Chains A and B, each alone.
Chain A
Amino acid sequence: MAYDPIITFTYNMAQPLGQLQDATPDFSWRGWSFGYRSHMRDHLSLGFSFSWQTFSELESGTFTKGTATATGTFIRYVNSLPIMLTGHVYTGDPDGFRVYGGIGIGTFYIKERFDFGLQTFYDNHWHFGLVPEAGVMLPLGGSSWDLLGNVTYNYAFSTKNYNSISYVGINIGFALLI
């Protein structure tokens, strides 16, 4: 059997954690990933991945800080784009059901937007981050396609000016053996 390179596409959902959950507590149904893996050895692959997850929260009310008080509609958006070099280890054979584990090391590009009434404020920043992952692959008949499902823990480390960002991803999609 051949351990061919793999292209992965997944639809991603995510639960924010920690300070991200404080800012945008709602479960995210808007995300996706693309990845490429090349087998260095039979059960080991190296590759890369791009992902995109969006979080948002709407709040209306009155808020006071110091001598200022503001009333209106506030919306916070957080777009997380992890760009990772990845490594994965697999059990089983490409022709059958496989379980794998892996980790991504790289950077998170975070795009934040804050709306208050008609005013919009943007803030973009980069973080070093890690994305450990565990998943399964199930071949679809005799084709080159596998069903793919995985869980990821996305962690962007804090920087001098920004807090850490973390969320758990639940992703389903396909793997194409090329």
Chain B
Amino acid sequence: MYKRNTLLFITVFILIAMVLLIFNACYKDYNLKVADYDAVITVRDEQNDYQGYATYFLDTDFINLGDPSDPSEPDNAAKFITEIGIEMANYGWTPVAQGTEDVTLRLGYSQNDYFYYYCDPYWGWYYPYYWCGYPTYAYSGGTVVIQMGDPNNVDGQGNILALWHAGINGILNDNPSSINKRIEDTVAQAYAQSPYLDRN
């Protein structure tokens, strides 16, 4: 038989390990690629069938959503503007001069730093002294927002009726060719999941 002190030590050790582990958890690492983290969200106006609109004006000045007074632009502003123009043309919209449009497109952006607390799926699982909790690496994430509004439909407070929102979010730490491809794909996806915008 084992000495009771040894077994008491084993029991206490396991209980301490349980306390440490209970408030962390093992999360399976699916080995996602950078592009797998791209997300596209669109929101439509439930009351609108979008049939009364055909022309648009794209305001190419990006608004910094974290600091609207900041006049700076995101690194890939030109690429986003190009792709939005392509998708609007594909859907049969005609760009016009400001002041004559049916709808206005406004652009916004933000950038956040993400700290990833890595939990090695082997060590964090079987060896409690390698538990999750220390930051392993950080990366920057960016969000671009496209908002479509009706400048001819303004409420009493001067607010323009918002017809459509698109938000695109992803990792910025990537090589230029990959970022360009991802911008093409995510802007295309924003329009692909918004077939009600198709004028054709």
What is the interface of chain A, defined by CB distance below 8 A to chain B?
4, 7, 30, 34, 36, 50, 52, 54, 56, 58, 60, 62, 64, 66-73, 75, 77, 79, 81, 109, 111, 113, 116-119, 144, 176-178
Contact = CB atoms under 8 A, between A and B. Distances in A.
Contacts of A68: 41-43
Contacts of B114: 118
A110 to B, nearest CB: 10
B18 A34 contact: yes
B39 A119 contact: yes
Pick the 5 closest A-B CB pairs, nearest first.
A117-B39, A72-B39, A79-B25, A71-B40, A69-B193
Given A68-B41, A69-B42, A118-B37, A30 B26 contact: yes
Interface of B: 1-2, 4, 7, 10-11, 14, 18, 21-22, 25-28, 30, 32, 36-46, 114, 125, 141, 169-171, 189, 193-194
A14 B25 CA distance: 17
Given A54-B27, A71-B40, 20 more contacts: A34-B14, A36-B11, A50-B18, A54-B25, A54-B26, A54-B28, A56-B27, A56-B28, A58-B30, A66-B46, A69-B43, A70-B39, A73-B37, A75-B30, A113-B27, A117-B39, A118-B39, A119-B169, A176-B7, A177-B1
B30 A72 contact: no
Q: In terms of DSSP, what is the predominant structure of the interface of chain A?
A: strand
A67 B166 CA distance: 12
Nearest to A62: B193
Nearest to B19: A50
29 contacts: A7-B7, A7-B10, A7-B11, A30-B26, A30-B125, A34-B18, A50-B18, A58-B30, A60-B36, A66-B46, A67-B43, A67-B44, A67-B46, A68-B41, A68-B42, A69-B42, A69-B193, A70-B40, A70-B41, A71-B39, A77-B25, A79-B25, A81-B22, A109-B22, A111-B25, A113-B25, A113-B27, A117-B38, A178-B1
